[in-house]
Each structure stands twice: as C-alpha cells, then as structure tokens.
Amino acid sequence: MTTENELKPHVTLDTIVSLCKRRGIIFPGSEIYEGLQGTYDYGPIGAELKKNVKNLWWKSMIYDRDDVEGIDCAILMNPKVWKASGHVDTFSDPLADSMGPSRKRYRADHVEPIECTAFEVIDVTDEGSEKRIEGAKIWAPSKKKAKEFYQTWWEKHLGLAGRRVKLEEVAGSTRVGRFSPDDGGELGEPRAFNLMLSTHCGPVADSAAKVYLRPETAQGMFVNYSNVQTSMRRKLPFGIAQMGRSFRNEITPKNFIFRTREFEQMEMEFFCKPGHLCKEGELTDDQWHEHWVEYRTNFYVKYGIRRDHLRFHYQTKEELAHYSKACCDIEFLFPLGWQELEGIANRTDYDLRMHMEHSGKDLKYFDQELNTHYVPYVIEPAAGVDRAVLAFLTDAYLEEQVKEDKRVVLKLHPELAPIKAAVFPLLKNRPELVEMARNLCREMKQSFYTVYDDTAAIGKLYRRQDEIGTPFCVTVDVDSLDDQAVTVRDRDSMQQVRIGIDKVRDYIAGELRGKS
Ligand code: GAP
C-alpha cells in the first residue's frame, strides 16, 4: 500500500501551465506587455471551468443545505473594518533585504539560516600589489560558491570586470545566519510589510481617502451578520457565504495560480452556539468544525480529487492565528508537492467581538430558549477558487498510450467540464453535413454547453476536446444523411455508439447525469 508520504505528483507544473496556455485555459496576465507578476487571465475554457467550480461550491454550500445564506459584498469596505479585523496591524510578512549588490528582498522566514563564511574581494594590481575592496563581503558556504556569487553579481557591481581578483576567507568569520541565496549578501533586519493593497476613494488621493482592496472575503460576512440574521429571521446555527475577488501584495507570488496577488475566494462563516452553552444532543463548535472538515473534503472527492491526494494538517498552538482556537488545513498533492488547498478554522467569537468593540454596535445573539444574550462562535471554511481549479486540473490530467500515439486527456467530472459536447461534420466540404451538424449543435445547446468545430481532421478534433475534458464528441458523417444517426464518442473509454439524431440530446443529457 502506498502511504501519502510516498506519493509523488504525477504531473509537473510546467506540463499543466503549457496545457493551459495551449488550450485557452489560463494565460499570463498582460502578456503582450511582458506580464504583471502575480496575475493570470482565464481564457475561454478556463473561465468556464472556474465558473463551474464556483457554481458547484455555491450549490453545495447554499442550495444543498438549508442553514446557509449567500451574499455578495463590496470589495471596498470602510477602512475601520480592517483595523477591527487586525489586518492593518498584523497582516504582514517579515521582509529582509540583501545587503549585497542584488538588493533582493526576501521573506525572512522563508530563508533558512545556514552556516557561511565571509570572503573579502582583493584586487590584485598589474604590479602584483593587493588592495582590499571596501564593503565587498561575500557570505557563502564554500569558496566555490563565493566565486559564483562574485561572477554573477559582484564583479560588475564593483566595476572589476576583467581584473584579476582573489577571494580571501575572513579568519574566524564562519557562523550560522541568514544570507541571500542569490548574491551572498548578508540579510538586513526584517521589517514588517503589510500585505494589503490600497487605493483611494474620491477625488483627493490623501491619507483620509485611503481604502484597501479586501484581502479576504470573510469580513463581509461578519459586518453583515446582524443584517442577514434579522432580515432572514435566522436562528443559530446558520452560515453566511460569499465568493469573490481578494487581493494580497504577496512578496513572492509563484507557482502559477497557486499564489497570486489577485485571486478568488469562496468562504463561509458558520455562526453557532459556543460549546459550553450547548445542551445534550446539540452540536458544539468543535463538532461543527469536524462536520465542516468532512463536508468540504467530500466536496473535493465528489468532483474528482483523489482521496489519497488529500491530507489534513491540524495546526499546532504555535501555528494558530491569534483569533483561532483550531484550524485544519486541507492539503492537496499539487504538482509542487503537498500544499494548503483550503483552511477550516474555529475563529471563536473573536471577529464579532472585535467588530462590536470598533463599531460600537451590539452584535450579540438573543437565544430565546436560554433567555440570554451571547456572541456566537464561528467556523470558517475558507477556500481558494484558483487553487481548487489547479487541484481539479492536476487530478484530471492523464497521458494515455493509444496505439502508437500519446493522448492527453482531462478526465474532469462532467459538471466541471467546460464544454459538455462538441459536434463535428466528418467532411467540412459537404454543405449537407455541415448544416446537419450545425443544426444539431444548436439544438443541443438548449440543454448543455455544446460547440461546433470543423477546423481540423476528425482525429485532431477528438484530441483537442480530450485535452480540455469534453465528455462527448458527436460526428455527423455521410451515412447520417441516410440513417439520420450520428456517432457519439465517450471521452474516457473512447467507445463510439451510433444514436438517432433526434435522440442524441437526451442520450448525452442522460449520460452526463449518470456520470455526475
Ligand atoms: N478568511 C481566512 C482566509 O482568508 P487564508 O488561508 O489566508 O484564510 C483562504 O485563505 C484560502 O484562500 C487559502 O486556503 C487559499 O486557497 C486561498 N488563497 C489565499 N491566498 C492566496 C493567494 N495569494 N493566491 C491564491 N489563493 C490564495
């Protein structure tokens, strides 16, 4: 049996990135202007896939249950919200700059301390005399590495290109510390760098007009807790959910859509009774936490994530955010290794309390049964849309040998598949076949998203649809003119069946339902 730790990603990130570019799924943002770091654009196929992920989340969180309401809040909120939530004061990363010539900036906690020795640069003149270069101290684990740093960064920076130099070890300098892995410069003192992006509201761009682009969707639910509870006449426990854009000035956006500066979240705040007030038979906040971990795991598995590609990391006391009592990270085996896909936190009554304090509004709940007021506890499943898209793409990706050929196929769950069916005429120079195929496509569109294509030979058209995960391809051939039937090909089995043209729509609709 394979244990989760022995599992290796079955596909590289480069493979996924290149499929996404080739097939109109995801493009680098602003590409014709050399891009903008940390941004990506979803193409026609990707936009559809992302929309399906969001719709299924909405269905699972709101339509399939009767204890969650959906809302849609403004991205710009009163800056006091972010003061109350703690984002203004604590949503920051510790940044440290290299004192070497690259001046590169690092997340201090992402640079492992290592043992290095300082090497000084000695300029050897033509006459053979030696001159120390002031301020040129290269920290490296070996002389070889120091030479590498010198050649890539220091030589030019010091204006010594073409000169004879020596690197001399500084006696007794070896120590463990944080040094730039790029240029061997020592890292300066870390400084807190706030991750919120800001802009200005109104015509004057002064500090009074400063507003933030929300770094999470969650606060929209907290500030609307009372509005929703009273307008929808809700009793505890109940949840408020929303999905939408969030922005973070990530220092090192990387790994494709895994960590970007603009992304989408799907979050829900589930307001419940604090455990100590629960009577026999009522779920406590801890039990609701477990419920949501399981519910969200089942969501991913239902739509195609392999269960053994998921694991749970329960944060330790040291890892927990100050407002959390418990937090379970659902991790997925991404092409870059095990990483967080979704976090499910027990945020206690922290957020509502902070908003009560900062807004002066009473957000306590009146429990009629207990005849008392209290601040509800909150369980928060917080998912990233883009990370979910990457996870679904990863687990759906398959390379298969078909006779002498290799085929790439995205075995996406039918409800996630961007296009449900594609219709082709076998011969595009036969107007009767083209007309029949176009008519059939038009009819099928009434039930599910169908496309028409005649821009390549049939084999190529099949491969193209396989690569974007289209569950069914329909071919209109010469026989169709006589028998009024077409060939329907299944993406996964590649089996073909002959179906009467008047039954194709119902047949595919039934198959899609059956596979869901
Ligand atoms: N309200 C809690 C919250 O925002 P988080 O763990 O910071 O928690 C929740 O974010 C989810 O949002 C993450 O699990 C991840 O899927 C997604 N996410 C966070 N930062 C992201 C980024 N820079 N790029 C893409 N997705 C991100």
User: DSSP letters along 219-286, please?
Assistant: HHHHHTHHHHHHHTT--SSEEEEEEEEEE---SS-BTTTTB-SEEEEEEEEEEE--GGG--TTSPPHH
Residue 1 confidence (pLDDT) above 80: no
Q: What is the mean pLDDT of residues 457-465?
A: 97
Tell me, what's the pLDDT at 367? 97
Nearest protein Cα to ligand 1, atom 25: 259
* Mutual angle of helices 385-396 and 44-58, in 10-degree steps: 110
Q: What percent of the chain has pLDDT over 70?
A: 99
Neighbours of 100 (CB within 10 A): 23
- Per domain, the residue ranges of the chain are 57-72+215-394, 93-191, 419-515
Beta-strand relationship, 130-140 and 191-194: unpaired
Residue 515 confidence (pLDDT) above 90: no
Tell me, what's the pLDDT at 2? 47
Q: Calculate the alpha carbon distances from 446 to 451, 472, 505 in Å.
A: 12, 16, 9
pLDDT digits (tens, 9 = 90+) for 309-334: 999 999 999 999 888 999 999 999 99
Residue type, 40: Y
Cβ burial of 336 (10 Å; 0-12, 13-18, 19+) is middle
Q: What is the pTM of this model?
A: 0.90
Q: What would the 3-class secondary structure string for 97-121 be?
A: EECCCCCCEEEHHHCCCEEEEEEEE
| Distance (Å) from CA 266 to ligand 1 centroid | 9
Q: ∠ CA 106-107-111 to the nearest 5 degrees? A: 80
Atom of ligand 1 nearest to the CA of 261: 23
Confirm or reject: Cβ of 262 under 6 Å from ligand 1: no
Tell me, what's the pLDDT at 3? 57
Q: 91-95, 230-234, 302-306, 341-345 — which is least confidently predicted?
A: 91-95
pLDDT digits (tens, 9 = 90+) for 435-454: 999 999 999 999 999 999 99
* Mutual angle of helices 504-515 and 431-445, in 10-degree steps: 50
Residue 227 confidence (pLDDT) above 80: yes
| Higher per-residue confidence, 461 vs 207 | 461
Mean pLDDT, the chain, rounded, equals: 96
pLDDT digits (tens, 9 = 90+) for 9-63: 999 999 999 999 999 999 999 999 999 999 999 999 999 999 999 999 999 999 9
Read off the pLDDT band of 4 (50, 70, 90). Answer: low
* Mutual angle of helices 13-22 and 385-396, in 10-degree steps: 100
Atom of ligand 1 nearest to the CA of 260: 24
| Higher per-residue confidence, 294 vs 251 | 294
Gap between the Cα atoms of 506 and 448, Å rounded = 11
What CATH number belongs to 57-72+215-394?
3.30.930.10
Q: 128-142, 411-425, 465-479 — which is least confidently predicted?
A: 128-142
User: Hey, what are 49's tokens?
Assistant: 């896939």
Tell me, what's the pLDDT at 254? 85
pLDDT digits (tens, 9 = 90+) for 152-175: 999 999 999 988 999 999 999 999
Gap between the Cα atoms of 198 and 210, Å rounded = 7
Confirm or reject: Cβ of 384 under 6 Å from ligand 1: yes
Q: What is the mean pLDDT of residues 81-106?
A: 94
| Distance (Å) from CA 391 to ligand 1 centroid | 14
So what CATH class is 419-515?
alpha beta
